A = this chain, B = another copy of it.
Amino acid sequence: MRTAEQYRAKLRSMRKNVYIDGKLVERDDPQLIPGQNVVAETFNFAADPKYADLMTARSHITGKVINRFTHIHQNVDDLLKKQEMTRLLCQYVGGCIQRCMGVDALNALSVVTRDCDLAMGTNYHERFLKYLEYYQENDLVGNCAQTDVKGDRMKRPHEQVDPDLYVRVVEKRADGIIVRGAKAHNTIAPYADEIIVIPTRFMTEKDADWAVAFAVPADAEGVYLICRATAPRPRKELKAPFAEYGSADSLTVFDNVFVPWERVFLCGETKFAGQLALQFANFHRHSYTGCKPAVTDIIMGAAALVAEYNGIEKASHVRDKLAQLVAVAELVYGTGIAAAVKAHQAASGTYVPNFVYTNVARYHAGINIYHEHEILADLAGGLPATLPPEGDFLNPVTRDFLHKYIMRNPAISAENQHRCFRLCSDLLCSAHTGVRQVGGIHGGGSPIMEKIAIMGMYDMEAKKKIAKRLAGIKD
C-alpha cells in the first residue's frame, strides 16, 4: 500500500494536461491541493493500525492486504465495511471522500465483464483481473468517467448531430482502439492516477460504437482535463481542518486517445452497456449510503453546536429540527445496511448490494440535501451570511469590536464563537456550498434517476396482486 506522500509524489511526476481557468498547470497547483488533502486521508487511515480492519482487505486475487478502496466485495461484511469506512472518512474530511468512484467502477466491471463473457464468449473478465491486480498492487486512485456531455437530451448517441457528444470508438486497431469524446463532472480526475471510462446509459444496437469501457492513465496522450476547483475560503491565520479540504472536477476530453486492448473492457456489446451503467450506479449509490449520512452528520454537528452557542439548544423547535437531521442520516444509513444484508452474489463472485435499497436510500438523501442546509441556516441565524471576512478579525480596531459583539455565552471564548460561525459560513455561504448542494442532488444520479431505476426494477405487479385479492378481483 502507498503512503499519502507517495501518492502526491506520483502526481507531481505526471504529464501536464490539467487546465484551470485557462492555464495549463502542474498537479501541485495550489487549487488542486485541497482535493489531494482529501484523498491523502484514504492512505493515512489505511496506514493507521487502529483502522486496519475497516480500511484494508485481503485481495481475492492475490491474497495480499490492500487498501479497501481497491477491493472487490467478497461478502456482506465487505459491503458493510465499505459503508462504514465511507461515513468515517467523510466525517473526517468534512464532505465527499472522492476515492469511492474508482472502487465502485472496479466492482461494476468485475460483475459485468464476467456476465458479458458468459453471454457473448468474450474474455473481458481475464483482462479486467489483470488490470485489477496492477491497480491493487500500486494502490491507485481512480476516477470513474461516466456522464457523457450528451448533446440533445432527447436523442440517442447515434442520432446526435455531432457523433462525439457521447464518447465513442473512432478506430479499432490490432493493438487497441482510438476513442474520442468528452465526459463531464469528473470529480477527483485532476489528481487521480487512472480514469476509468464506462457508458452512461442503455444503448440500442445502432449505438455499438458508443458501447465502450476502458481505463487510461489520467495523463495519457490526448487526454485534456479542463477543471474547476472549489474549497472553502482559504484562511490567513485562523486555520481549521474544514478549510484545508476541497475538491476539483474536470470536463475530460478524449481527443483521439489510444487505448491498448488490455485496457478495454467493453467494445460494442451494446446489451452490456446499460448493465454496466446500472451496476456502477448501484455500487455508487451504496457508497452514498455512507457518505451522505456523514454530510448530514457535519451539518447536524454544526447545527447543534451553533444552537448551543446561541443558547437555544433546549428549545423545542431546535430539538425538532435536529431530530429531522438524525432521521435523514439514519434512514439513509440504515437502508444502506439493508442493501448490504440483502446483497446477492454475481457470477463473478462479487457481492452486489440490493438494488431497491441502494436506490431508495440515495433518493432520500437527494431530496433532503437542500432542506438540510435550510435547517442549519434556520438555527444559525443570519450571521453566516454577514460574518465579516477573516481580515476584520485580525485588524486590531475591528477585531476588538467583533470579539465584543460576537459574544453570546460568556463561558465560551470569542474566538471559538467566531470559529463556529466561520464553519457555518463556509457550510452555508461559500462557493463550496452550492457545489455541495448541486452535488447532493445530482452526484451518483439525481432523485429522478433513482425513481426511474426503482420503477424499472420493483415488483409492482406483486403489489397489484395484493390489491386485486383484497378487492376480490380474479385475473
Scan residues 432-457 of chain A and give those whose CB is less than 8 A from a CB of chain B. Answer: 433-435, 437-439, 441-443, 446-448, 450-452, 454-455
Q: Cβ of B467 and Cβ of A408 under 8 Å apart? A: no
A425 to chain B, nearest CB (A): 8
**A357 in contact with B330 given A405-B182, A408-B151, A470-B241 (CB within 8 Å):** yes
A388 pairs with B441, CB closer than 8 A: no
The answer to whether A428 and B423 touch (CB under 8 A), given A298-B470, A301-B463, A389-B22, is no
A402 at the B interface (CB under 8 A) = yes
A161, A305, A311: most-surrounded residue (chain B CB, <10 A): A305
CB neighbours (8 Å) of A257 from chain B are none
Report the copy number of this chain in the oligomer.
4
A94 at the interface (CB under 8 A from B): yes
Asked whether A152 is an interface residue with its Cβ less than 8 Å from the other chain, the reply is: yes
Asked if B334 contacts A19 (CB within 8 A), the reply is no
Question: Please, how many angstroms separate the alpha-carbon atoms of A174 and B317 in the complex?
Answer: 47
CB pair B317 A165 closer than 8 Å: no
Interfacial chain B residues near A21, Cβ < 8 Å = 388-392
Our pick among B374, B408, B416, B434 for the contact of A473 (Cβ within 8 Å) is B416
Determine which of B360, B361, B370 lies in contact with A370 in the assembled complex, contact meaning CB atoms within 8 Å: B370
Chain B residues near A185 (CB-CB < 8 A)? 382-383, 385-386
Q: A127 at interface (Cβ–Cβ under 8 A)?
A: no
Contact (Cβ within 8 A) B471 A242: yes
Question: When the two chains form their complex, are residues A305 and B377 in contact, meaning their CB atoms are under 8 A apart?
Answer: no
Q: A442, B381: Cβ atoms under 8 Å?
A: yes
Range class of the A interface residue count: 35 or more
0 or 1 for each of A208-243: is its CB under 8 Å from B? (1 = yes): 000000000000000010111010000000111110
Given contacts A149-B406, A240-B472, A364-B331, are A386 and B305 in contact (CB under 8 A)? no
| Interface: A422 (CB within 8 A) | yes
Q: Please give, as numbers and ranges, the residues of chain B lying within 8 Å of A13 by CB-CB distance.
A: none
Q: Which residues of B contact A469 (CB under 8 A)?
A: 241
A1 contacts chain B at the CB level, 8 A cutoff: no
- Closest residue of B by beta carbon distance from A435: B385
Complex contact B334–A361 (CB within 8 A): yes
Complex Cα distance, B337 from A193, in Å, reads 38
CB-defined interface of A152-169 with B at 8 Å, one 1/0 digit per residue? 111000000110110000
Which of B20, B369, B458 lies in contact with A389, CB distance below 8 A? B20
Which residues from chain B contact A433 at a C-beta distance below 8 Å?
429, 431, 433-434
Minimal beta-carbon separation of A283 from chain B (angstroms): 17
* Cross-chain contact of A333 among B164, B317, B338 (Cβ < 8 A): B338
- How many angstroms between the C-alpha atoms of A253 and B403 in the bound complex? 12
Looking at the assembled complex, report how far the CB atom of A298 sits from the nearest CB atom of chain B, in whole angstroms.
6
A377 touching B241 by the CB < 8 A rule? Answer: no
Cβ of A147 within 8 Å of any chain B Cβ, yes or no, is yes
**A114: min CB distance to chain B, Å:** 28
Q: How far is the CB of A144 from chain B (nearest CB, A)?
A: 14
With A404-B164, A470-B423, A472-B241 in contact, is A224–B398 under 8 Å at CB? Answer: yes
Complex Cα–Cα for A149 and B304 (A): 20
Q: Is A363 an interface residue (CB 8 A)?
A: yes
Report chain B residues within 8 Å CB of A269: none
A308 within 8 A of B: yes
Task: Kindly specify which of A57-65, A198-206, A319-327 makes contact with the partner chain.
Answer: A319-327
Shortest Cβ gap from A281 to chain B (Å): 14
Q: Determine if A448 and B317 form an interchain contact, defined as CB atoms under 8 angstroms apart.
A: yes
Q: Is A356 an interface residue (CB 8 A)?
A: yes
CA distance A305 to B149 in the complex (A): 18
Residue A335 at the chain B interface, CB threshold 8 Å: yes
Nearest-neighbor residue (CB-CB) of A385 within chain B:
B438
Q: Which residues of B contact A108 (CB under 8 A)?
A: none
Chain B residues within an 8 Å CB radius of A454: 323, 326-327
Q: List residues of chain B with CB within 8 A of the CB of A154.
A: 311-312
Q: With an 8 A cutoff between CB atoms, is A300 at the interface?
A: yes
Interface residues of A in 350-400 (CB under 8 A from B): 356-357, 360-361, 363-364, 369-371, 373-374, 377-378, 381-395, 397-398
- Given A251-B401, A322-B455, 7 other A-B residues pairs in contact with their CB atoms under 8 A: A165-B407, A184-B386, A301-B468, A319-B455, A377-B441, A382-B438, A430-B431
| 9 A-B residue pairings within 8 Å (CB atoms) | A20-B391, A161-B410, A165-B407, A239-B472, A242-B471, A301-B463, A428-B434, A428-B437, A433-B433
